[in-house]
Amino acid sequence: MKIIKFLVFTLVLLAGLGYAAFYFGTNMASEKIMNDVSTELQNSGEIEQIKTTIENDPELRAFIEEAETADTSKLPFTTKEEATRVLIKKVGISELNDIRVQVQEGNASKEEIMENIQGKLSEEEVLALKVLAYKELYGK
């Protein structure tokens, strides 16, 4: 009987430690990714280029402006860190990195990327990403 109690206790302890490592690991990864991306965009001046691209593309502008009228109280996340955590969980770090590389090399169209992301996220999560992008770009 003592052996069974010991095994159950050990399994519960290991499961708890595994969950904590996963939760805090994705938290740390999401914070690092967001800090790196934000710093890179601000230092390189790409934010202005992104704004110009969005303003010149009616489809992208409509996509982002949908966030302006969204009800933020019903969104599944409201911070960049939470969004990054969701993206890491649902899309995966390696696939996000692949998307980043494809975009930098000009090998991916916006339609392919949107289909890929929208296929893995719920409508509410996509809307929450739009809201965050809108706030980040326009400071509202």
Query: Mean pLDDT for each consecutive 10-residue tract of the chain (140 residues)?
Result: 87 89 77 74 73 80 77 84 84 84 80 84 88 77
pLDDT of residue 117: 84
pLDDT of residue 140: 62
Phi and psi, residue 43, nearest 5°: -70, -35
CB-based contacts of 30: which residues, under 8 Å, 6+ apart?
A: 81, 82, 84, 85, 88
Domain boundaries, the chain: 27-138
